[in-house]
Amino acid sequence: MAAVLFDFSGTLFRIETAESWLRAVLAETGHTLPEPELTRAARALEAAGGLPGGPEPVELPADLAGLWAVRDESAELHRAAYTGLSRRVPLPDPGLYDALYDRHMAPAAWSPYPDAAKVLRALRERGIGVGVVSNIGWDLRPVFRAHGLDAYVDTYVLSYEHGVQKPDPRLFSVACEALGADPRRVVMVGDNRAADGGAAALGCRVHFVDHLPVDRRPDALLPVLDLVS
């Protein structure tokens, strides 16, 4: 294999919990909620799908369905979709919804999976090109830099920068071209079978991992090294 493409959320990194997310924003903005209310609000925000990188909505509101379907095609659509969902949950200040959205883009809100650095470093040492292909509405490069992983990534292909979202094969094609790799010699690693599976249309091999908390998935990326050996 000549190159490996990775998804971001649920593959190389995991977003913080909804409770941690809400707690951080309340502290940053000087708001407080009694613990029972904070816990209930965090659960409601998670169920609503308001945390980007977290679970999808338990029930998608009809008025947001169209926006949700194209949310990763631009920064504006992404913010509108997620703040629209979080606004379904009452909070003490209307400004908290945008603050919550801003928080999820902070490097501190993300944790790399335990084996991410090891795998990325090993690929670099073997001369295997690495790309990150993500459906996202913001620039995730600072997250990689803050966690010391940017040095192992050769190219980033982000949906909002191209106006196209996975599973459209055009995103994977851009990544393969940037790496100078024949798609038939590329592995796509992701957690979403529908979105990441789109790479198969180009002839890429696709390998899936489970989107689990970091403490429950210590070594799911290691088999990638066997795929490129």
Extents of the domains making up the chain: 3-14+111-227, 15-108
> What one-letter code names the amino acid at 174?
V
pLDDT of residue 229: 84
| Multiple choice CATH, 3-14+111-227, 3.20.20.240, 3.40.50.300, 3.30.70.1170, 3.40.50.1000 | 3.40.50.1000
Torsion angle (degrees, nearest 10) of CA 44, 70, 138, 90: -20
Q: What is the pLDDT of residues 182-220, one digit of tens each?
A: 999 999 999 999 999 999 999 999 999 999 999 999 999
Cβ atoms within 10 Å, residue 20: 15
pTM over 0.85: yes
Q: Collect the ranges in the chain with pLDDT lower than 50.
A: none
Residue 56, class by beta-carbon neighbours within 10 Å (0-12 exposed, 13-18 middle, 19+ buried)?
exposed
* Cβ-proximal residues to 158 (8 Å cutoff; 6+ apart), any chain: 132, 134, 136, 139, 140
